Amino acid sequence: MTEAVESRHFIQQLIDSDIESGQWGAPGDRSVVTTRFPPEPNGYLHLGHTKAIILNCGLAREYGGKFYLRFDDTNPAKEEQEFVDSIKSDIEWLGAEWDGDVKFASDYFEHMYAWAIELIEKGLAYVDDQSVEEIRAGRGNLKDGGKASPFRDRSVEENKDLFARMKAGEFENGSKVLRAKIDMNSPNMNLRDPLIYRIVNVTHHRTGDTWHIYPMYDWAHGLEDSIEGVTHSLCTLEFEDHRPLYDWFIDAINQGRSDEEQIHHPQQTEFSRLALSYTNMSKRYMRQLVDENHVHGWDDPRMITVAGFRRRGYTPESFWMLASDVGITKFNAIVDFSRLENMVREDLNKRAPRAMAVLDPIKLVITNWGDGGDEDRLESMEVPNHPQDESFGSRTVQFGKELWIERGDFMIDPPKKFFRLGIGREVRLRSGYWVKCHDFKADADGNVTEVHCTYDPSTRGGNNPPADEEGKVRKVKGTIHWLNVNDAIDVEVRMFDRLYMAERPGKKSGDHLDDLNPDSLTVISNAKFESGLVDRGPQEPAWGDGIRRFQFERTGYFCEDGDSSAQKLVFNRTASLRDSWAKQGR
Ligand code: ATP
Ligand code: MG
């Protein structure tokens, strides 16, 4: 019990004490907790966003409160419907269903506009004709104070008139702004008369050409939370310095209003961003990768977008596992990419049925198969679908004279510790027989084309042979996978590696593109796969997202790609079985 209490993170502790004190409703009422995820629809969601989504959704669920999805669509120049759609489907896939209808900041434009007029009337906002550069220069720096705009003392009437005409589209982009009148000498630069509206003569993806002015993020954000009754407005650390401004805006609106007319004042709390080694967790870089064709779209499996991870075969569960593993703190730290990979391995190890696939095939010929009789004879072998979990059942595969094995499982001149095939060496073919190599064939370039072996009929199922006369049992160290040549089909396998080679892409040269891994994608067009698994088998789990996932014995976790068809199956490698980056020390 104490342990559970101690492991609660600081935001849970804060909410617990709010509930006890009745900060948001009747003391003890947990259902008042209201959170939201407020993406800007200007790109696809990335891994970092999943941390915010899972935190907000998880808290609302834990307390029995509400979790909203709200699009912060206040910047018409960069936003598109495509991004709204992708964000919604990514959140659904993650299993973080929101309460009620999807919300849009643009639905509150009238509200925000009315409040801006209220500020003007209270002498707390003014129209400034200075250019953006002049305004920036006038802000000054932390050492010297700022300089008041020559337009700062415009009359309320003039401000109201100009603001209405800004809205009506009478002025050009950048010619005027509305600013809050706060303090040009504040030690917090955000309070030096921040912009609250700017002129943007661009069609908005939802409101069309209704508006010619758009609210600045800082003005809009806290007001959106207020309108929705968000109690705990959770955001990343870089917004800590903006909190006094959000508080100021709400206080300014409430100033002079009666108790009943007060608008809701959410409480903002900041937590650290998720950053991952070997990645750039920012839409800006991701957009460049897509626009300049360094990857094949936002859902390229090498991207750290949710859509990319999904296509790569990651499970929603692995993101929830990572989020809880990383926890919620106030310290910015870079999480190692391997940690995420280990989560998906852990999840898939439990849930993915096994299959046999040979990625780089060479033929193994059993020269004593059918000795003195039928060379085409086939034997049915029972293969477990999951070695640690009997509930997955088993399947039958055929074993015959000619098999596919991995090229890497044979060596012409193997070192002593190579426990697979070489002349005179014996291995176990998993769930098959033991085979011993006595010869091989190679082409003119020295590439091995066939490995010749004999099998031991007393090892059926891959089991140990009986003891000899002296009571000794023969042993083999290596077990390899295989496919019967006539029961294997050609499939395409896409092998992904990290997109960047550097832990902090772009750190050295200043350009992340310099650190791109040229070998991040390798396509194998003639890998071999069990023909019996082309269609979904009765024992295969029903993955919530419909994507089939397997562990290919000994080679990794794979999922079927959307490009896959009955004519040509396509698989993506989700993860290797082990962390090869750690081993190589790259
Ligand atoms: P980017 O920096 O990638 O452009 P953003 O913060 O501009 O992302 P938004 O759409 O504005 O993207 O973000 C929506 C929410 O996601 C915000 O509340 C933000 O704090 C949160 N968020 C964004 N990146 C991360 C991250 N790396 N870790 C945790 N939360 C994040
Ligand atoms: Mg943003």
Taking alpha carbons only, the member of 167, 261, 262, 249 closest to residue 214 is 167
Q: What gap in Å lies between CA 226 and CA 265, rounded to an integer? A: 6
pLDDT-derived band at 518 (thresholds 50, 70, 90) equals very high
Percent of the chain with pLDDT strictly greater than 90: 92
Check residue 373 and give its pLDDT.
80
Point out the catalytic residue in the list 147, 160, 165, 273.
273
Q: What gap in Å lies between CA 16 and CA 24, rounded to an integer? A: 12
- Find the 323 Cα to ligand 1 centroid distance in Å: 15
Name the H helices within 333-375: 337-351
Point out the catalytic residue in the list 8, 40, 122, 339.
40
Q: Is 540 helix (H, G, I), strand (E, B) or coil?
A: coil
DSSP code, position 18: H
CA distances from 504 to 171, 238, 305, 366 (A): 44, 20, 18, 51
Q: What is the best residue among 42, 49, 329 to mutate for testing ligand 1's pocket, by most ligand atoms within 8 Å of CB?
A: 49
Are 329 and 335 a contacting pair, CB within 8 Å?
Answer: no
Atom of ligand 1 nearest to the CA of 284: 4
Are 398 and 487 a contacting pair, CB within 8 Å?
Answer: yes
User: Which residue, by CA, sits nearest to atom 4 of ligand 1?
Assistant: 283
pLDDT-derived band at 1 (thresholds 50, 70, 90) equals very low
Q: Read off the tokens for 228.
A: 């929705």
pLDDT-derived band at 372 (thresholds 50, 70, 90) equals confident
5 pLDDT more than 90: no
Check residue 584 and give its pLDDT.
47
Q: Read off the tokens for 279.
A: 């990645």
User: Which residue, by CA, sits nearest to atom 23 of ligand 1?
Assistant: 49
pLDDT single digits (tens) 239-261? 999 999 999 999 999 999 999 99
Q: Which residue in the block uniquely carries the two structure tokens 């050609």?
A: 490
pLDDT-derived band at 132 (thresholds 50, 70, 90) equals very high
Q: Which residue in the block uniquely carries the two structure tokens 């085979």?
A: 435
Least distant ligand from the CA of 50: 1
pTM here is 0.94
Q: Taking residues 444-471, what's their average pLDDT?
A: 95
In the chain the domains, ranked by start, together with CATH numbers, are: 109-217 (3.90.800.10), 272-354+491-586 (1.10.1160.10), 357-481 (2.40.240.10)
pLDDT single digits (tens) 488-515? 999 999 999 999 999 999 999 999 999 9
273 is catalytic: yes
Pocket around ligand 1: residues whose beta carbon is below 6 Å from it?
38-40, 46, 48-49, 51-52, 235-236, 273-274, 281-283
Amino acid (1-letter code) at residue 372 = G
Atom of ligand 1 nearest to the CA of 53: 16
The sign of the dihedral angle between the CA atoms of 200, 203, 204, 210 is positive
Atom of ligand 1 nearest to the CA of 236: 20
pLDDT single digits (tens) 223-234? 999 999 999 999
Q: Taking residues 374-380, what's their average pLDDT?
A: 93
pLDDT single digits (tens) 66-93? 999 999 999 998 878 999 999 999 999 9
Q: What is the dihedral of CA 473, 478, 480, 485, to 10 degrees?
A: -60
Beta strands in 257-317 (DSSP E): 267-271, 274-276
134 pLDDT more than 70: yes
4 pLDDT more than 80: no
- Find the 40 Cα to ligand 2 centroid distance in Å: 6
Are 167 and 211 a contacting pair, CB within 8 Å?
Answer: yes
Q: Is 408 helix (H, G, I), strand (E, B) or coil?
A: helix
406 pLDDT more than 70: yes
445 phi, psi to nearest 5 deg? -85, 0
CA distances from 69 to 36, 157, 271, 584 (A): 6, 38, 19, 42
Q: Is 197 helix (H, G, I), strand (E, B) or coil?
A: strand
CA distances from 479 to 2, 405, 410 (A): 47, 11, 12
Q: Read off the tokens for 95.
A: 């299993």
Least distant ligand from the CA of 42: 1
User: Which residue, by CA, sits nearest to atom 14 of ligand 1?
Assistant: 39
- Find the 48 Cα to ligand 1 centroid distance in Å: 7
Q: Taking residues 298-324, what's their average pLDDT?
A: 97
Q: What gap in Å lies between CA 507 and CA 515, rounded to an integer? A: 9
Check residue 566 and give its pLDDT.
87
Q: What gap in Å lies between CA 449 and CA 269, rounded to an integer? A: 64
Q: Is 461 helix (H, G, I), strand (E, B) or coil?
A: helix
Helix, strand, coil shares of the chain, percent, nearest 5, are: 35, 25, 45
Point out the catalytic residue in the list 51, 154, 176, 283.
283
Q: Taking residues 457-469, what's their average pLDDT?
A: 93
**Beta-carbon contacts of residue 540 (< 8 Å; ≥ 6 apart):** 353, 548
Q: Taking residues 187-196, what's their average pLDDT?
A: 97
- Find the 137 Cα to ligand 2 centroid distance in Å: 24
pLDDT-derived band at 581 (thresholds 50, 70, 90) equals low
Strand partners, 362: 405
Mean pLDDT of the chain: 95
User: Which residue, by CA, sits nearest to atom 9 of ligand 1?
Assistant: 39
Check residue 265 and give its pLDDT.
97
**H or E element, residue 571:** strand 570-575
Atom of ligand 1 nearest to the CA of 286: 3
Q: Read off the tokens for 377.
A: 């004879």
Check residue 79 and give its pLDDT.
78
Q: Which residue in the block uniquely carries the two structure tokens 């669920």?
A: 61
Percent of the chain with pLDDT strictly greater than 70: 98
- Find the 291 Cα to ligand 2 centroid distance in Å: 19
Check residue 580 and give its pLDDT.
65
Q: What gap in Å lies between CA 445 and CA 97, rounded to an integer? A: 58
- Find the 49 Cα to ligand 1 centroid distance in Å: 6
Q: What is the best residue among 40, 236, 282, 322 to mutate for testing ligand 1's pocket, by most ligand atoms within 8 Å of CB?
A: 236
DSSP code, position 175: S
pLDDT single digits (tens) 29-75? 999 999 999 999 999 999 999 999 999 999 999 999 999 999 999 99
Check residue 51 and give its pLDDT.
97
Least distant ligand from the CA of 39: 1
Q: What gap in Å lies between CA 197 and CA 167, rounded to an integer? A: 10
Burial class (CB in 10 A: 0-12, 13-18, 19+), 37: buried
Taking alpha carbons only, the member of 568, 455, 426, 581 closest to residue 517 is 581
Q: What gap in Å lies between CA 90 and CA 303, rounded to an integer? A: 14
The sign of the dihedral angle between the CA atoms of 295, 517, 528, 535 is negative
